Amino acid sequence: MKKIFTFITLLVSFSLVAQNGKIIDRQEYDWKKDITITNIVFKDGKLQEKFQYLNGVTIEKITYESDGLKVKGYLVQPKNKENHPCIIYNRGGNKEFGKLSTKKAVFILAKVASWGYVVAASQYRGNDGGEGKEEFGGKDVNDVLNLIPLFDNLKTTDTTKMGIYGWSRGGMMTYLALTKTNKFKAAIVGGGLSDLRLWIRTRKDTIESVYYKNIPNYTENKSKSINDRSAISQVENISKTTPILMVHGTADWRVVPEMALDLSKEFIANKIPHRLVLFEGGNHGLTEFRVEVDVLVKQWFDNYLKKDKKLPDLNPHGR
């Protein structure tokens, strides 16, 4: 009887794991019926040239399974039925602050998808009506990783070519994902949070309250909680086969540029392939450099996901 019970328990556990990434619900979002979007993208009754990409993609709000939880997110795909490389986009903020919106889906996710990529993004557990509880880089990192099997269930994806892209707190999630898998062939981090201790010291607006509100048992385990979420504390665990593009503004007060500089130094010491681009006077979102950032992002993903660019030689060489 005990053996039968154990077998059933294992079967149920396997079934739960096997459901990770399963899309439970999907609803297409029609941006043409959203006046907040059309007021921006149309001029004199015509879709502006810089927004023509919207005609070539479909945007869906999705609910998918992650660790047995129903988590909210977005899925954006090119309309043509070819097989496309895949990109996971990681949002910033925490809880409802900074969550993905239809505007972000239209102006960020859809733009990346228009370059010929299937893009999936998570709100992380507990947010936007999803089940579970936000952990600010804890178990919710699984909500990112569980988008990998989601791609496997789609018919228009090439899952041998996957990238990951995060901004701010999403940069933290990107780095943490790279400590757990080497499946990504390219990564991009913008204004990335990589040192939670430095964040406390450089943010005088009681930023530590974010930790208290989101990180389980933070008060009892401050040091471990911070180390577990800081890329600077676990560089040796980050994938050495995933080239990382880091972009940061020198006038960023939300996440100071020293985080990118310090992490780059550690990446060099540990031979992790990366490129750091600092934008002089750039703010946290690099809003003054959107066109330049888009060019860099597209080129990075195209090089490593479409053109199979080889990893650089990080050993001392040359004359």
pLDDT score at 207: 85
pLDDT score at 231: 98
Q: Return d(Cα 154, Cα 156) in angstroms, integer.
A: 6
pLDDT score at 204: 79
Q: Return d(Cα 313, Cα 167) in angstroms, integer.
A: 27
What average pLDDT is seen over the chain? 94
pLDDT tens for each residue of 141-192:
999 999 999 999 998 999 999 999 999 999 999 999 999 999 999 999 999 9
Strand partners, 88: 120, 164
Q: Return d(Cα 194, Cα 164) in angstroms, integer.
A: 16
CB atoms within 10 A of CB 6: 10
Q: Phi and psi for 303 in degrees, rounded to 5?
A: -60, -45
| Residue ranges covered by each domain of the chain | 24-306
Q: What is the mean pLDDT of residues 85-112?
A: 96
CA dihedral 52, 168, 85, 279 (to 10 degrees): 70
pLDDT tens for each residue of 202-241:
997 878 899 999 999 999 999 999 999 999 999 999 999 9
pLDDT tens for each residue of 38-75:
999 999 999 999 999 999 999 999 999 999 999 999 99
C-alpha 176: how far from chain center? 10
**Residue 39, CA distances (Å) to 30, 56, 114 in order:** 14, 19, 21
The fold of the 24-306 domain, in CATH, is: Rossmann fold (3.40.50)
* 242 and 182 Cβ atoms separated by less than 8 Å: yes
Q: Return d(Cα 55, Cα 269) in angstroms, integer.
A: 45
Closest CA to 267 of 242, 293, 291, 292: 242
Residues 6+ apart with CB under 8 A from 294: 111
Q: What is the mean pLDDT of residues 90-116?
A: 96
Q: For residue 190, with 0-12 CB atoms within 10 Å meaning exposed, 13-18 middle and 19 or more buried, which class applies? A: buried
Give the pTM.
0.93
User: How would you classify residue 107: left for phi > 0, otherwise alpha for psi between -120 and 50, otherwise beta?
Assistant: alpha
pLDDT score at 8: 52
Structure tokens at 180: 């757990």
Strand partners, 87: 119, 163
pLDDT greater than 60 at residue 120: yes
